A and B are shown apart, each in its own frame.
Chain A
Amino acid sequence: DAGVTQSPTHLIKTRGQHVTLRCSPISGHKSVSWYQQVLGQGPQFIFQYYEKEERGRGNFPDRFSARQFPNYSSELNVNALLLGDSALYLCASSLDRGNQPQHFGDGTRLSIL
């Protein structure tokens, strides 16, 4: 079975631009979460979506937004990019909102010039 897939794998943007990152969860998984991982640090929680609704939000500015589609795939949008947004963006899926393990994709490496 396919794992969590994310696209694109790498992206280079300039300050002020916006970006859309995409995630396809494991088949049958209804919950998708997004994390930001800066080099040398652990992932930091951004959003959780379940059944197309936002169920949790981390301490990130309103420039960050996301949505989940009827097929449970998800998009993360970031507007007005800053140099500090350079990071690995990880998507994780799980069966539902319970304590089942979250399974991660290999992320999108975003570089801001």
Chain B
Amino acid sequence: EDQVTQSPEALRLQEGESSSLNCSYTVSGLRGLFWYRQDPGKGPEFLFTLYSAGEEKEKERLKATLTKKESFLHITAPKPEDSATYLCAPIQGAQKLVFGQGTRLTINP
């Protein structure tokens, strides 16, 4: 059975305190992985696509990496506006996304 687990479920950091979010998965027919950010009451906002193990993508304070079984979202010197729920979604053929439950990130000023 396809399974996606994100950890931690919730993370509270001080502004400027770097950390990493984890996404581990067991998905058949894996074709890549997306990272999204979701603010309360909004739809997920696309951040990154990773297609192969070893690949890295960066955007402002965020960097996503991919191995064969997991992906990491590294947040460097975060700001309060980085507070959101971060979702990972392995791509399982024909664009079926299998989402994790998300990591709820709070950055305190």
Contacts and interface: CB of A to CB of B under 8 A. Distances in A.
A107 B95 contact: no
A45 interface: yes
Interface string A85-113: 00000101010011101111111000000
B104 to A, nearest CB: 9
Given A42-B87, A99-B32, A99-B49, A104 B44 contact: yes
- Size category, A interface: 20 to 34
Interface in B73-103: 87, 89, 91, 94-102
A7 to B, nearest CB: 13
B96 A43 contact: no
10 contacts: A35-B99, A42-B87, A42-B89, A42-B99, A43-B44, A43-B99, A90-B43, A99-B32, A99-B49, A102-B95
